[in-house]
A = this chain, B = another copy of it.
Amino acid sequence: MRSIETCFAPPLFPHILTKENFSVVIVDILRATTAMCTAFEMGATEIIPVAEIEETIKFRNKGYLIAGERDGIVIDGADFGNSPFNFTREKVNGKKIVITTTNGTQTIKAAHISNTVVLGAFSNISYLTDWLAKRDQNVVIFCSGWKNKFNLEDSLLAGSLAQRLLKMGFESDCDSTKGAIDLWDIAKVDVLAYIQKASHRKRLQRLGLDDVLEYCFTLDTTSVVPLLRNDAFIDAMK
């Protein structure tokens, strides 16, 4: 029987009990994993996540677009920030992208202990569920959180994804997974109303970046499964 384990924030990831043959699903709903799914949907061919701003420099003269921000502010020299709305077909179709974000890329680095690392968002949840269900691997859902803390939006995705996987024959004896499912059961009736209380939602509002909220919580706007190959994500559905 394949298991599901949920990790609510990066400091908890070294303590996961799932030890072998697992896919890691990285979640950073506001906004890194949502944005990366959008970029693939709009035709990007490759996305390289990097942890440090300095690392983007070597890609500038190699034809890559640079997406980067810290605390919601676009970094100097980047082509755009991390709003999914930046990744239009006109800008990214056929292009390679380098991305650096506040939380997401650090999480991706840690997840590298598995050789199957994919990105999860509400925007690709159905395609992702089907893709995971077809593989003979356990699943670890790895929430990026905010500054090494638990956050609500990533935990809701964890609950929603876990609930779907349980219906497809997975099992879970993980309290985090059960808690996440219960939170999702409360939120799913009206997820935009629920997420009003999330602290990150308020941070985005202060920065004028909360125009993406509705999009980030809308199901199935993309048909992609970003999969890490070496140091770059490609779309496993292509």
- A175→B155 CA distance, assembly (Å): 10
Q: Which of A50-58, A109-117, A176-184 contacts B (4 or more CB under 8 A)?
A: A176-184
Q: Given A15-B11, A173-B202, A202-B173, are A178 and B149 also a contact pair (CB < 8 Å)?
A: no
Which residues 2-25 of A sit at the B interface, judged by CB distance below 8 A? Answer: 8-9, 11-12, 14-17
A147 with B15: CB separation less than 8 A:
yes
- A225→B160 CA distance, assembly (Å): 39
Q: Is A174 an interface residue (CB 8 A)?
A: yes
Which residues 143-191 of A sit at the B interface, judged by CB distance below 8 A? Answer: 146-152, 155, 173-176, 178-179, 182-183, 185-186
Number of this chain's copies in the complex: 2
Q: Which residues does chain B contribute within 8 Å of A218, judged by CB atoms? A: none
Q: Which residues does chain B contribute within 8 Å of A16, judged by CB atoms? A: 149
Q: Is A236 an interface residue (CB 8 A)?
A: no
Q: Which residues does chain B contribute within 8 Å of A175, judged by CB atoms? A: 146, 149-152, 155, 198-200
How many A residues touch the partner, as a band? 20 to 34
In the complex, what's the smallest C-beta–C-beta distance from A58 to chain B, in angstroms? Answer: 31
Q: Which residues does chain B contribute within 8 Å of A198, judged by CB atoms? A: 175, 178
A14 with B15: CB separation less than 8 A:
no
A174 with B199: CB separation less than 8 A:
yes
B199 with A173: CB separation less than 8 A:
yes
B199 with A179: CB separation less than 8 A:
no
11 additional contacts, CB 8 Å, given A11-B12, A155-B175, A182-B186? A9-B15, A11-B11, A15-B147, A15-B148, A17-B149, A149-B175, A150-B176, A150-B179, A152-B178, A152-B179, A185-B186
